[in-house]
Amino acid sequence: MTGGVAGKTVWITGASGGLGEALAHAFGAAGARLVLSARRGDELARVARAVSDAGGTARALPMDLADAGSIAAAAADVARVEQRIDVLVHNAGQTQRALIADAGVDVYRRLFEVNFFGPLALTKAALPALAGGGRIVVVSSIAAYYSSPYRSGYNASKKALHGLFDALRAEAHRDGISVLLVVLGSVRTKVSVNALRGDGSAYGRMDPAMAAGMDPAEVAARIVQATVAGREEITVAPLRQRWLMWRKAWFPRLASRAVRLRPRG
Ligand SMILES: NC(=O)c1ccc[n+]([C@@H]2O[C@H](COP(=O)([O-])OP(=O)(O)OC[C@H]3O[C@@H](n4cnc5c(N)ncnc54)[C@H](OP(=O)(O)O)[C@@H]3O)[C@@H](O)[C@H]2O)c1
């Protein structure tokens, strides 16, 4: 992306907290004009104000990724007000903390709405405004390469995103649209607190891995860098989590033994 993101329109989903809030600050500090989306309008307004206080430009645009009408309305609003989208950051996401045996199918539908169908619908709506140089940034996870127990729906939805956006990268090249997949290890956010239990309620607990995770501001800075550099895929994870991906790729039987739950009884 020649000339960086200064003056460019960057639309970030999941910007009401966690990594999305850090991305808002990082893209804002780089001079981008931000559109910030998530469900909680009050939190979005707080983030937009903080970006403005730091000298940036941001507006809050509430949107629910599990609601097709809300996505269409937000995309129409951006097309009318901003006209062009230079960078669309699919950051919003939700995870799971339940065994497959205990999780209702509705939990999987919900995870796929937020993590897959929402980003798909938003991308389709945004394609015309992205044509001619636009960039799509997809926040994924090492879970796309390495499936561990209790988060099966999340693992599956992140893997599905790779299938979708690798194909879009090939298809949309002729329209000048590029795609960056960001494969993340643990980041210090409330992602586990907001995870779904088997009955669809919130897990409500901070996992030790998240508490000890990477600093969201540092991760956000790496994502801005990779966006500007035109990268197609990056992995931002500590060595021990990269090793889990390599182990799965090169020693799959070892990997599958390592993640097994202990026999009952
Ligand atoms: N934290 C990690 O360790 C980690 C690791 C790998 C990948 N990731 C990925 O990083 C991304 C950001 O997650 P995070 O760690 O910052 O988690 P988080 O703190 O739970 O933030 C999730 C964000 O997604 C938004 N969101 C949730 N449901 C939504 C919906 N239906 N419609 C619109 N927005 C919705 C939330 O806002 P509202 O509640 O206001 O809607 C919030 O802003 C996710 O894609 C996640 O999978 C995180």
d(CA 44, CA 27): 15
pLDDT (tens digit, 9 = 90+) per residue, 200-209? Answer: 999 999 999 9
Between 1 and 94, where is the model more confident?
94
Phi-psi region at 12: left, alpha or beta (left = phi > 0; alpha = psi -120 to 50): beta
Residue 265 banded pLDDT, cuts 50, 70, 90: confident
The class of domain 9-238 in CATH terms is alpha beta
pLDDT (tens digit, 9 = 90+) per residue, 58-79? Answer: 999 999 999 999 999 999 999 9
Active site amino acids = 154
From the CA of 66, give the closest atom in ligand 1. 31
* Cα angle, residue 32 at apex, residues 27 and 35 outer, rounded to 5°: 85
pLDDT (tens digit, 9 = 90+) per residue, 5-52? Answer: 999 999 999 999 999 999 999 999 999 999 999 999 999 999 999 999
HEC assignment per residue over 65-78? CCCHHHHHHHHHHH
Distance of CA 206 to the CA centre of its chain: 19
User: Which residues are near ligand 1 (CB < 6 Å)?
Assistant: 13-14, 16-20, 38-40, 43, 63-66, 91-94, 114, 139, 141, 184, 186-187, 189-191, 194, 210, 213
In a 13 Å sphere around the CA of 165, the CA atoms on its Cβ side amount to: 33
* Pocket-testing residue among 189, 196, 244, ligand 1, by greatest number of atoms within 8 A of Cβ: 189
The CA R_g of the chain, rounded to the nearest whole Å, is 18
pLDDT (tens digit, 9 = 90+) per residue, 211-233? Answer: 999 999 999 999 999 999 999 99
pLDDT (tens digit, 9 = 90+) per residue, 97-128? Answer: 999 999 999 999 999 999 999 999 999 999 99
Residue-level pLDDT at 264:
86
From the CA of 115, give the closest atom in ligand 1. 45
CB distance 97 to 203 below 8 Å: yes
Does the pLDDT at position 80 exceed 80? yes
Residue-level pLDDT at 37:
99
Residue-level pLDDT at 1:
78
In the chain the first and final C-alpha atoms are separated, in Å, by 57
d(CA 10, CA 250): 37
Domain boundaries, the chain: 9-238
d(CA 250, CA 66): 36
Residue 250 banded pLDDT, cuts 50, 70, 90: very high
Amino acid found at 258: A
Going from the Cα of 19 to the center of ligand 1, the distance in angstroms, rounded, reads 7
From the CA of 114, give the closest atom in ligand 1. 31
Residue nearest to atom 42 of ligand 1 (CA): 14
